[in-house]
């Protein structure tokens, strides 16, 4: 029921109340029908359709939009981008098609002036993946003329009211609609449509759908060109027709991207081919006006068809393979013009009302006739319910050779001048005895009919008087070929595409085109066949009053609509009949899993017996009837209970299949893993063996090599053997070291050990360790180092050996020392395996101080080339000295001193801390101080000087 106001019953909350619910669970609603159609499509993979019917203004277009919104809301829970794109385009297409195909009539402010059938394609998951729109009989005569109180199509007013000033200037338009002859009657009429806001909404929708900016501009150029066409004024100058306002021709030519002289010629002349000759025939003023109007109607019709085609190209299902993606199912939504009775009913109303007769006939065939016949055929007890079958009216219109359309076509094909009155005469002669046809000639006393103008058809929805004026012209739908060639030769590719037949040359003979009525009849027959192939769901729209008032309920008006729509008979058939019927085979295939007797396969004599057993198991035998080939279920509740049981069992079956499949996958994975591990084990074994063989091959003759294999490169080990390689290399290096040591004479071994110890401590910290020379150790005893006093040192050394019982001399050398009193003196140090002696060379090497080696805790040296050494003791009485040699004078002995002491301490398993820093930290009788090293160019010998933080050792620059 059209409430003529917005009601809050179509929001998100209401959608959730009806989502997934069965029909009987919630009160009647558009969403309940939409959900039922969607569930039938998804559950049974069956194509469905929703047929929306009712009078003009009953709310069919709004109902179709709500159904579309519901389907969009309940689909695509995974938010797939492509599905969202398709949904958005399907919803936005309504806005565009309404702008160019709807208009205000006396009955409805947003009346559909075309028929629309939309197929929505769904994938196997139930998500929309595309669609297709079919449009039927656009009322193009509305472009040039409208009845009193009505407007032309919304698009004209939207452009003038919503277009920017710049846009209107480019189209040579002004905002005042009354300035344009074609639409001026509707300029002052109030309409609930907000033209300015709708213009912006349509422009946005076209962008979303995928129209390019230049295509949108072309659309509005065509609309503007039509407005300018209506303002053309024709007159006759002598015998020559002329256009009074030729400036408008230039504007039209500019908008249609063609030349103004070609436009003018097409409007004033008609090119005719007579045999091989081609002549230009002048139009009369009347013919020029007719041609102009026909051109305007044709342009708009082609524009509308192109918009529909463009939308279809965008939403068409592409690259869909049923073997990969599953079955592609469809829900069709039919929103077509309702039954119309106007003050002046012409050819368009005749076609619209014939369309409604065809849809009513489909309803009768599917619901009232076929259903009752099926009960009788299947042997179900049934009491026949009478109904009015409107097939007689359909035949009156469309029957071959006898129907009104055939008679109209014959009149259009007759040679010579055929008038509308002659067509009416033909109707009177051939249909005079038909119960549903009458005219003034047949009913002379009926003054509601005009002589030679009117005829009446008794439609299922009521009697309608049609005026034959214009029937012949509208059926012929004549458009001069000149206009088609003009548009085909346009430089605008969109316009050129709309007029493909314009490429034919003037002399080419073409087949006579089908008339408008025949084309419409064929499209209606195809539509009905398409709907009949689907499972239909019906929405019947009722108009409560003719005043568009939300407060008024005209009971008689509503009763009349209920009667002619056949709703009473429908209710009777539904009440007495069965809600669902299906062949035994298909029924069993769907529901066999809900009974242990039929799952997975039954052993009963036939499918019929299996179905009966299944029904009895669940106690539904009192709500079903068994036909010869089908089972009939009376109430929806039983069917929905079966569906619930099916859904529950389906979950268990799916879980079982998942369990089995997961087990299979796990076993396969286990076998593959086991095989992979076996391969890996043998491969690793192979890599290990290969590595060991390669190592054995490379190091086979290593004993005979001069360097014991030092130059031999090691092969790269596998990852698993990296730690093994490290251990193997350690073993090899120890072996090689052992071989090298065995080749060294025993007397050289102590020196070798001392050099190794020095390298371990000083390598990387001091540049000159002295590894390349021989280490003498006891330098004071050498004549080269102490030629004058050697004789006095040796007795002192022997006396100390007798007295202190030392075994070996580790090191001896002359030094320069500094004490805590800042006194710098030349001394000598003599280190044995038991003591460190400080001696005075000037006093026959008298021992000045003895430090037991167990009291020595560490050494400190600098990181330069100087000979600074600090001996650290436990009693914090450190000894600060600088070694020096006489032969050669620049010989570095720091490495030797550190090495022999570190080697000795290591042999006694004691720790000797060696520090390499600059400055060196030390302690003199508990007082902390530092010794830093500085280089001076004019310095000849190393020497200590006092500094505030300790001492500075100045060494020669070279």
Structure tokens at 474: 């509208």
Which of helix, strand or coil describes residue 505? coil
Would you say how long the chain is, in residues? Answer: 958
Of residues 161, 263, 167, the one with CA closest to residue 216 = 167
Q: Is 112 considered catalytic here?
A: yes
> Do the beta carbons of residue 255 and residue 222 sit within 8 Å?
yes
- How many angstroms separate the CA atoms of 789 and 844, rounded? 8
Q: Which residue has the tokens 């320069």?
A: 816
Q: Is 284 considered catalytic here?
A: no
| Candidates 108, 218, 346, 570; catalytic one | 108
- How many angstroms separate the CA atoms of 488 and 495, rounded? 7
Q: Which residue has the tokens 């001076």?
A: 936
Sequence-ordered list of residues with C-beta below 8 angstroms from that of 533, at least 6 positions apart, any chain: 47
Of residues 734, 723, 688, 756, the one with CA closest to residue 906 = 756
| Candidates 2, 48, 53, 56; catalytic one | 56
- How many angstroms separate the CA atoms of 930 and 244, rounded? 117
> Do the beta carbons of residue 113 and residue 146 sit within 8 Å?
no
Q: Is 515 considered catalytic here?
A: no
| Candidates 2, 53, 105, 111; catalytic one | 111
Peptide bond into 784 cis (omega under 30): no
| Candidates 98, 139, 150, 340; catalytic one | 340
Q: Is 131 considered catalytic here?
A: no
Helices (H), 50-119: 60-74, 81-101
Look up residue 455 and give its DSSP letter: E
| Candidates 2, 48, 53, 61; catalytic one | 61
Helices (H), 533-606: 555-564, 567-576, 584-591
Of residues 721, 732, 713, the one with CA closest to residue 690 = 721
- The beta strands (E) that lie in 610-697 are given as 624-626, 630-633
| Candidates 57, 115, 709, 770; catalytic one | 57
Structure tokens at 380: 């179900």
Q: Which residue has the tokens 């368009």?
A: 348
Structure tokens at 415: 């040679």
Q: Is 743 considered catalytic here?
A: no
- The beta strands (E) that lie in 229-316 are given as 234-237, 240-243, 269-274, 277-282
Structure tokens at 110: 């947003």
Which of helix, strand or coil describes residue 14? helix
Q: Is 57 considered catalytic here?
A: yes
Sequence-ordered list of residues with C-beta below 8 angstroms from that of 864, at least 6 positions apart, any chain: 766, 918, 933, 955
| Candidates 101, 338, 709, 864; catalytic one | 338
- How many angstroms separate the CA atoms of 357 and 394, rounded? 6
> Do the beta carbons of residue 631 and residue 584 sit within 8 Å?
yes
Q: Is 505 considered catalytic here?
A: no
- How many angstroms separate the CA atoms of 92 and 106, rounded? 27
CB atoms within 10 A of CB 706: 7
* CB-count burial class (<10 Å; 0-12, 13-18, 19+) for 176: exposed
Catalytic residues: 56-57, 61, 108, 111-112, 338, 340
């Amino acid at each position: 029921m059209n409430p003529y106001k917005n009601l809050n019953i179509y929001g998100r909350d209401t959608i959730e109340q009806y989502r997934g619910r069965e029909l009987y669970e919630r009160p009647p609603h558009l969403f309940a029908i939409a959900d039922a159609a969607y569930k039938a499509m998804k559950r049974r993979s069956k194509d469905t359709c929703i047929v929306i019917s009712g009078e003009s203004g009953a709310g069919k277009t709004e109902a179709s939009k709500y159904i579309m919104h519901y389907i969009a809301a309940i689909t695509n829970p995974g938010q797939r981008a492509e599905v969202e794109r398709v949904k958005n385009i399907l919803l936005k297409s309504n806005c565009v098609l309404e702008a160019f195909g709807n208009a205000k009539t006396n009955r409805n402010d947003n009346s559909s002036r075309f028929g629309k059938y939309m197929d929505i394609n769904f994938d196997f998951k139930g998500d929309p993946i595309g669609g297709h729109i079919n449009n039927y009989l656009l009322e193009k005569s509305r472009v040039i003329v409208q009845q009193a109180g009505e407007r032309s199509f919304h698009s004209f007013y939207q452009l003038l009211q919503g277009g920017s000033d710049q846009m209107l200037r480019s189209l040579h338009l002004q905002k005042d609609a009354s300035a344009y002859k074609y639409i001026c009657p509707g300029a002052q009429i109030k309409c609930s449509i907000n033209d300015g806001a709708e213009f912006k909404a349509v422009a946005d929708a076209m962008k979303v759908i995928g129209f390019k900016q230049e295509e949108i501009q072309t659309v509005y150029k065509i609309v503007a060109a039509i407005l300018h066409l209506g303002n053309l004024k024709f007159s006759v100058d002598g015998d020559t027709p002329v256009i009074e306002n030729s400036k408008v021709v230039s504007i039209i030519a500019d908008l249609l991207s063609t030349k103004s002289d070609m436009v003018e010629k097409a409007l004033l002349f008609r090119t005719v081919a007579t045999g091989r000759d081609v002549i230009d025939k002048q139009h009369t003023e009347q013919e020029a006006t007719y041609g102009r109007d026909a051109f305007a109607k044709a342009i708009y019709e082609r524009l509308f068809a192109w918009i529909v085609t463009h939308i279809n190209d965008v939403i068409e299902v592409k690259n869909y393979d049923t073997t990969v993606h599953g079955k592609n199912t469809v829900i069709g939504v039919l929103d077509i013009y309702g039954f119309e009775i106007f003050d002046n009913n012409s050819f368009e109303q005749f076609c619209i009302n014939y369309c409604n007769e065809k849809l009513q006939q489909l309803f009768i065939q599917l619901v009232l006739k076929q259903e009752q016949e099926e009960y009788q055929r299947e042997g179900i007890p049934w009491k026949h319910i009478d109904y009015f079958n409107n097939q007689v009216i359909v035949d009156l219109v469309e029957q071959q050779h006898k129907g009104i359309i055939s008679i109209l076509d014959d009149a259009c094909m007759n040679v010579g001048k055929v008038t509308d009155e002659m067509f009416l005469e033909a109707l009177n002669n051939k249909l005079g005895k038909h119960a549903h046809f009458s005219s003034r000639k047949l009913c002379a006393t009926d003054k509601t009919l005009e002589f030679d103008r009117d005829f009446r058809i008794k439609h299922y929805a009521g009697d309608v008087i049609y005026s034959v004026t214009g029937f012949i012209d509208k059926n012929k739908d004549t458009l001069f070929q000149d206009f088609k060639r003009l548009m085909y030769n346009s430089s605008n590719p969109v316009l050129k595409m709309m007029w493909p037949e314009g490429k034919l040359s003037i002399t080419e003979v073409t087949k006579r085109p089908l008339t408008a009525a025949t084309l419409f009849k064929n499209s209606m027959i195809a539509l009905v066949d398409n709907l009949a192939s689907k499972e239909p769901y019906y929405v019947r729209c009722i108009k409560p009053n003719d005043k568009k008032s939300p407060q008024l309920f005209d009971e008689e008006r509503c009763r009349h609509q209920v009667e002619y729509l056949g709703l009473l008979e429908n209710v009777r058939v539904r009440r007495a009949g069965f809600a669902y019927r299906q062949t035994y085979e298909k029924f069993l295939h769907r529901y066999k899993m809900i009974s242990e007797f039929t799952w997975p396969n039954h052993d009963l004599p036939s499918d019929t017996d299996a179905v009966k057993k299944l029904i009895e198991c669940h106690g539904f035998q009192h709500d079903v009837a068994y036909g010869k080939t089908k089972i009939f279920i009376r109430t929806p509740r039983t069917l929905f209970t079966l569906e619930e049981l099916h859904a529950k069992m389906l979950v268990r079956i799916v879980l079982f299949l998942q369990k089995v499949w997961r087990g299979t996958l796990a076993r396969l994975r286990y076998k593959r893993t086991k095989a992979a591990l076996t391969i890996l084990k043998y491969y690793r074994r192979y890599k290990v063996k290969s590595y060991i063989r390669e190592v054995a091959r490379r190091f086979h003759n290593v004993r005979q090599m001069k360097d014991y294999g030092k130059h031999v490169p090691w092969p790269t080990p596998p990852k698993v053997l990296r730690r093994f390689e490290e251990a193997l290399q350690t073993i090899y290096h120890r072996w090689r070291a052992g071989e090298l040591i065995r080749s060294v004479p025993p007397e050289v071994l102590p020196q070798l050990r001392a050099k190794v110890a020095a390298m371990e401590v000083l390598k990387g910290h001091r540049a000159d360790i002295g590894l390349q020379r021989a280490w003498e150790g006891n330098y004071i005893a050498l004549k080269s180092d102490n030629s004058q006093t050697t004789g006095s040192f040796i007795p002192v050394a022997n006396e100390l050996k007798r007295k202190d019982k030392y075994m070996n001399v580790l090191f001896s050398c002359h030094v320069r020392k500094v004490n805590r009193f800042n006194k710098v003196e030349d001394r000598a140090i003599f280190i044995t395996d038991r003591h460190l002696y400080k001696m005075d060379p000037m006093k026959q090497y008298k021992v000045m101080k003895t430090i037991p080696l167990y009291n020595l805790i560490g050494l400190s040296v600098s990181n330069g080339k100087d000979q600074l050494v600090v001996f650290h003791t436990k009693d914090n009485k450190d000894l600060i000295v600088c070694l020096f040699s006489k032969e050669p004078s620049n010989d570095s002995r720091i490495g030797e001193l550190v090495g022999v002491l570190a080697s000795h301490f290591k042999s006694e398993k004691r720790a000797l801390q060696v520090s390499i820093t600059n400055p060196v930290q030390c302690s003199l009788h508990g007082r902390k101080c530092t010794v830093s090293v500085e280089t001076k160019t004019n310095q000849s010998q190393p020497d200590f000087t006092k500094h505030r933080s300790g001492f500075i050792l100045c060494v020669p620059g070279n």
